[in-house]
Structure 1
């Protein structure tokens, strides 16, 4: 058995830029990492898809098995196979085109990103599996070696789709947290989060956001100016985490909605990574312990300390701040907690983990095909986000202002062609966290979090090889946090 390389390094393969145009002979270098320590002849290859983020030699150290349990490596150890990590085209250093370092956008614009599609990216993996060779080994291509795709979230979608698309190439898949039901708007994302929050906190968040929207729509000039200044100061409390504006007047309604969405959308750690306790536990406690007697009122001359300081020694009530003291007080309690979450995030995550051109590549994928924009559920009576956090503003500000050449509408049919949450791939195991907000668009979705869900039956009974489970059953399991 070979010694494990303590520092796995990137390997590269030359891939066709366009798999579907034989007259285009351009190629680019795509990266991958492997650990073949446990391999014995005939063993499978466990292909871990890195998805919508660039990888690195440092990240690939999970292949050593040190400090972190890595499922592909454990499977390779058990079944005497190879563990592999794959970098998605247009991410990390698997970027076929030169790009502007500041904006992250490829210089060729649409003529570059038109090659970043679901089909091109899936075909990359197919091409690789068919042609993979390693010096000193027998044929490791998919015609003679079982390849197993493993992925979570977007890579989980790809794991499921590849078994529908190329069952002759990838023998099996493990699709985790896979939101395969692509749709443009995804307000149901918030339902799981809402259900995990204490009732007083969710009621106060709703009251604060409703108050904010009311000021923007019905407030007089003085009220709107005061409101804008409060939001502007809250956003600027930590310049590394906030959006950046010259003054309160420069903020659009979308900008304000985005700032107020910070605890749920941009603020690290996020719910889908850390659950309620990690993402919102302190945030909710601070809202409910916010003491209104410390709040003397906010004016156009008030310093930020008026909204960023509080003794947090209020009498905790099940009714909540809004019910006890009114919606305006709930709004300022919300701003206080938003500021505190922002400051904590700056201490725990001192820099943006994502590479700029990775952000742009993912924005292109969302705006051109994947969509699933986590918009406000307004006019729901339990809505957590501003009504201005809507699809119209997402399309304009997130998509078209950043990438003017993006299609007018995302082509979600490019994803749904594989069946969405009705898909029935064989040799595929689906796993979902019981409190994962992406479960709302997965095969394990249920009516309590998505009224349109198929409510498919979950089974751990493994069907015959290359056969899907009977009826509407889904092979897999839900995992409780």
Structure 2
């Protein structure tokens, strides 16, 4: 088979694998549609538990505010003996809807079977179906914060103790992945009398406005998984060619990348959004490489760092930008998009939507502007993705969506407050396992080395975001399998 035919065979197989996958909106601010922790893969023959609703306080910081709302949660008590009470496992919801499928599968369910645990999953306020307010106006979003979410959990735990008549010796273990991984650690820190131990997976503990390390890890991940610099060099070459062609022959890139409007009508922010979008395609690919989410079925497994890099490094005379455009075709097919919409105004318009149809994008944007930053910029000393989306580009989004006061000084002070409040990477608390994967860009803001034997870190080489939480697979790396065993050992020790 010729080298050109090999390239087109790879592209065709990836395309066929993706056209059957439900479309999702674009990856933005390091967040996938539905939140960073996806839905676990597996066969769901068991009956899923129905949603239940808890009367929650609106504002925990104001005792005189008696307003309440209904918060969604799920319970699986099939492993629990209420007469001989074991531990309670609490899965913390994050920047997406809670999903009942997590109640019957995933690594934490395996642990629950072993320790005869009661399993509860509480949805995060302002995400999924947990709507504390009528809409997502800025006046209402003031009640969206990690502080309020932790207070929700504390209030919920106290009430569940009464509802299930749990004795005071029952130990609660918190589980969380991604932003909930941070919450799991912070819940143990702020409410140690309620939470006995926590498993914090892929949790960014350091709030940082200019998260330039994100794309450094993306590039390192390409090298780590392929074993050389060929893919990185080809990606760098593609971006150089794109920049040159946009200057001199923009119609070539317009056609190859199937943009929705010509570059001649594009604003400066549109062009920043264009470059950010094609970089995000690789960020999404790396962040979820070879995981066991429900969307990562047999066909979708074809879309990995290695198969895409095989496509980019295939010989045969095609310029690098054309091969990157072929990957862009796959991403568009995955999202059920007919053209690449890089319009900055369209993006801002979507984020200004104050109705509950925003899929969590507006809410997460608000939390980044008021608590965390986490902006994946191109500011690092590297030229693979160019330097077309610096921190000012993301601060401008905060201001255009929420108002002029959300400037760099405001966001920086907010991130500093978050770090002071929780301790960032100097968090001082025992009985937490910090779990990260080397392929996951978020590990750059987490604890990856053990500093205290009572708060161990497990760093899994070759795995991506929240990999240890998903159902096990025979194809899992040996280090991933061992990490699950280590976590179980710590649970056994702390529950003894």
Does TM, scored on the shorter chain, surpass 0.5? yes
Residue in 2 that maps onto 1:63: 103
From 161, 175, 179, the counterpart of 2:204: 179
Q: What does the per-residue CA deviation read over 1:300-344, in whole Å, with 9 as the maximum and x for residues that have no partner? A: xxxxxxxxxxxxxxxxxxxxxxxxxxxxx4334433433344335
Distance in 2, matches of 1:145 and 1:355, equals: 39
- 8 Å contact 1:376–1:385 — kept in the other structure? yes
- The aligned residue for residue 74 of structure 1 is 110
Which has more helix, going by share of residues?
Answer: 2
Q: Deviations over 1:231-277 (max 9, x none)?
A: 4334437xxxxxxx544333234433433444542469631112598
User: Does the Cα contact within 8 Å between 2:256 and 2:322 map onto a contact in 1?
Assistant: no
Equivalent in 420, 424, 427 of residue 424 of structure 2: 420
Classify the secondary structure of the residue corresponding to 1:372. strand
Runs of 4+ with >6 A deviation: none
Q: 1:257 to 1:211 in 2, by over 3 A?
A: farther
Deviation at 1:77, TM superposition (A): 1.6
One of 433, 436, 439 as aligned partner of 2:440? 436
Note if contact 1:185-1:374 (Cα within 8 Å) is conserved in structure 2: yes
SS at match of 2:433: strand
Where do 1:51-200 residues align within 5 Å?
Answer: 51-55=94-98, 59-65=99-105, 70-99=106-135, 106=136, 109-133=137-161, 137-139=164-166, 143-197=168-222, 198-200=228-230
What residue is the counterpart of 2:348 in the other structure?
none
Higher relative contact order (CA 8 A, sep 6+): 2
> Within 1, Cα distance between the matches of 2:162 and 2:192?
23
- Map 1:19-418 onto structure 2 (within 5 A): 19-40=60-81, 41-55=84-98, 59-65=99-105, 70-99=106-135, 106=136, 109-133=137-161, 137-139=164-166, 143-197=168-222, 198-213=228-243, 219=247, 223=248, 226-227=249-250, 229-236=251-258, 245-266=260-281, 270-274=285-289, 278-289=303-314, 291-292=316-317, 329-343=319-333, 346=336, 356-378=358-380, 380=381, 382-397=382-397, 399-404=398-403, 407-408=406-407, 409-410=410-411, 411-417=414-420, 418=422
What is the TM-score normalised by the length of structure 1? 0.71
Mapped to 1, the partners of 2:440 and 2:245 lie a distance apart of 33
Q: Contact (CA 8 Å) 2:89, 2:175: kept in 1 or not?
A: yes
* Alignment length (residue pairs): 378
Residues 432, 439 of structure 1: 8 Å contact kept:
yes
> Could you say what secondary structure the match of 1:431 adopts?
strand
Could you say which residue in structure 1 is the equivalent of 2:19? none
* Distance change >3 Å, CA 258–CA 291, structure 1 → 2: farther
Distance 1:343 1:126, change over 3 A: same
Give yes or no for the alignment of 1:10 onto 2:51. Answer: yes
Cα distance in 2 between the residues matched to 1:196 and 1:125: 35
CA shift for structure 1 position 192: 2.5
CA-CA distance at 1:405 after TM superposition: 6.9
Do the aligned partners of residues 358 and 345 (structure 1) sit closer, same or farther apart at CA in structure 2, a change above 3 Å counting?
closer
Return the offset for 1:92. Answer: 0.8
Unaligned runs of at least 5 residues, structure 2: 1-44, 223-227, 292-301, 338-355, 463-496
5+ long unaligned stretches in structure 1: 100-105, 238-244, 295-328, 348-353, 445-455, 459-467
Q: Aligned pair in 2 of structure 1 residues 273, 383: CA closer, same or farther (>3 Å)?
A: same
Name the stretch that deviates more: 383-392 or 21-30.
Answer: 383-392
Q: Distance in 1 between matches of 2:101 and 2:405?
A: 36
409-418 or 13-22, larger mean C-alpha shift: 409-418
After superposition, the C-alpha distances for 1:370-428 in whole angstroms (9 at most, x for unaligned) are: 211111135x2x3332312111111113x222333773232112431222112232111
